[in-house]
Chain A
Amino acid sequence: MDIKDIIQEKNIVYKRTDHLTDKALSFCPGCGHGTVHRLLMEVVEEMNIQSKTIGIAPVGCSVLAYEFMNVDMIQAAHGRAPALATGIKRLNPDKYVFTYQGDGDLAAIGTAETIHASNRGEKITIIFINNGIYGMTGGQMAPTTLIGMKASTCPYGRDAERMGNPLKITELVAQLPGTYFVTRQAVHTPNHVRKAKKAIRFAMENQNNGLCFVEIVSNCPSGWKMTPNQSNTWMAENMFPFYPLGDIKVPEKKVV
């Protein structure tokens, strides 16, 4: 059998979703953002909700999400995406609204918006990318930077006494009555990618039951000054013990 006999429409087992634009991703090689972009857009496609979906991407590496996600999108100010999402969903209850935020955005400057949108139980989905560093501005310390972890604003490693402790905001959010589903996932292996996609799907499907919150612990090869492979190994050895993967708050009937 010739290869041309195999490469045929009828033999397609997987293809890139057209809910991603043709624009080449601007993320660094090995970064987890691209995978999460794809999963989210695959979920929108599979749920057939493109015409009802509004996304919000605030400041940070997430800011250019509107270049790649083929849905109506809004660029928000740093930390404010959950407030925008509140305004949109309250006035457009038939829409699916998601925010796509990094750790500096969601867990530092936007803490108030994150906590209060979660506590009110806004009917939205929050996708939270936690890589423990400010990627876009060049590797500064984030609210989620681990103790001892180096960043450009803690070049000798984070020290709790001088710089404070890393914030487990996902555990915090899970305590609030307004959240319906809170989970922490990763996308560094095919197995984890499959689990993360299930979580995102559940979070989009159930947003009208209460705020659904999906943290993705991700790598940042450039910010961490590592190769993609090194960064994934480092993440598994250092990030996961502090940010353990798995569901944190699940409704009674849970499918993931």
Chain B
Amino acid sequence: MKEYKLMKGNEAIAEAAIRAGADGYFGYPITPQSEVLEYLMAQKPHERTGMVVLQAESEIAAINMVYGAACTGKKVMTSSSSPGISLKQEGISYMAGSELPCVILNVIRGGPGLGTIQPSQGDYFQAVKGGGHGDYKLFVLAPSSVQEMADFAKLGFELAFKYRNPVLILADGIIGQMMEKVQFFDQQPRITDEEIIKKYPWTTTGKTPNRERNIITSLYLEAIVEEQHNRKLQEKFKRMEEDLMFEKIECDDADYILIAYGSVARICQKSMELARANGIKAGLLRPITLYPFPSKQISGLAGKVKGILTVEMNAGQMVEDVKLAVMGKTPVAFHGRMGGMIPSPEEIVSALKNKLIGG
């Protein structure tokens, strides 16, 4: 049997990145995710696997180091928290436009502005609607446990290379800071330069006589060419539905559905139990991928239930996507806390009663 370790989410994703065969990590300190860089540095990954870890001069530099390294087919990641992720948006847009793989972790804190260091889900829109300039999507994974922080590091790299697109792991301060048991997969070998040339012929690894030079750019001066490039990107974003992930808990007989992701889904699980103990048949749908979003599954449930309560640690962001999926088929209510406040299981049950059941 595999060994369990007790770790913070931030440490678990760092350990998992090393084990997933990551070639590089570039980051900049910001609470509540600084443990990622600290853990990596303490592990001496240059000795363990040869992985390069560098503290950059800014979040902007960090994402651009990732950009450069990704052009050479390497598995690279960065991490930050909300204000730092805002700084990275230019680089993220360039990477999506240039079709480059990477893993980005956002351990969200309360905002806007400098905000607070407590947990929040205030960056949902930024994560799933693009975030930077231009029409693009990130593949967005929302872990709800320390185990998923570890698992999604590996999955994130696989998806990033499958789609040649940045993958965003959207966690919050709870998932990043909380300690839980976690099991790790075995160490995977890092990809060799020869394998990169064979598997990823688009990479800028040096022009050899047997091929034309490779150019990585997001610049197309002719509008028609830029439109073609955009169409190709949009087709790819649509294709990402192949890897849609969600979890349904006790939805089959449910009269009411709670929809929540990340740490809030964990809280909602308790709310669901409390509601059932009170004779309210509640179920939970947890989107694991926020883009692609389980719209069809939500639409399917909407026809069968008396109402849906979306719970988030923000002013109501995912609820807009839920409403688009439901299309008026059933009432959709929202309960949220902001600024680093965490909803309690009881207040969620109260919200369910007050906003949907009545009385």
Contact = CB atoms under 8 A, between A and B. Distances in A.
Do A and B come together as binding partners?
A: yes
Interface of A: 50-54, 56, 63, 66, 69-77, 80, 83-88, 90-92, 95, 112-113, 115-116
Nearest to A58: B64
A210 B15 CA distance: 32
Q: Decide if the interface of chain B is mainly helix, strand, loop or mixed.
A: mixed
Taking residues whose C-beta sits less than 8 angstroms from the other chain, chain B's interface range is: 35 or more
Given A51-B207, A92-B205, A112-B57, A80 B217 contact: no
A167 to B, nearest CB: 18
B228 interface: no
A159 to B, nearest CB: 31
Given A51-B206, A56-B68, A84-B64, A66 B54 contact: no
A119 B242 CA distance: 45
Contacts of B54: 86, 90
Given A72-B206, A74-B204, A113-B64, A83 B72 contact: no
Q: Which of A56, A72, A76, A77 has the most CB of B within 10 A?
A: A72
A86 B72 CA distance: 12
Contacts of A91: 23-24, 52, 69, 72, 74, 76
Contacts, number: 128
Contact of B72 (A54, A71, A113): A54
A164 B244 CA distance: 53
A87 B68 contact: yes
B86 interface: no
Contact of B65 (A50, A63, A70, A87): A87
B18 to A, nearest CB: 15
A72 B213 contact: yes
Nearest to B209: A51
Q: Which of B52, B66, B71, B218 has the most CB of A within 10 A?
A: B71
Interface string B8-31: 000000000000000110100000
A75 B204 contact: no
B267 interface: no
Contacts of A54: 71-72, 204-206
B24 A72 contact: no
Interface in B162-177: none
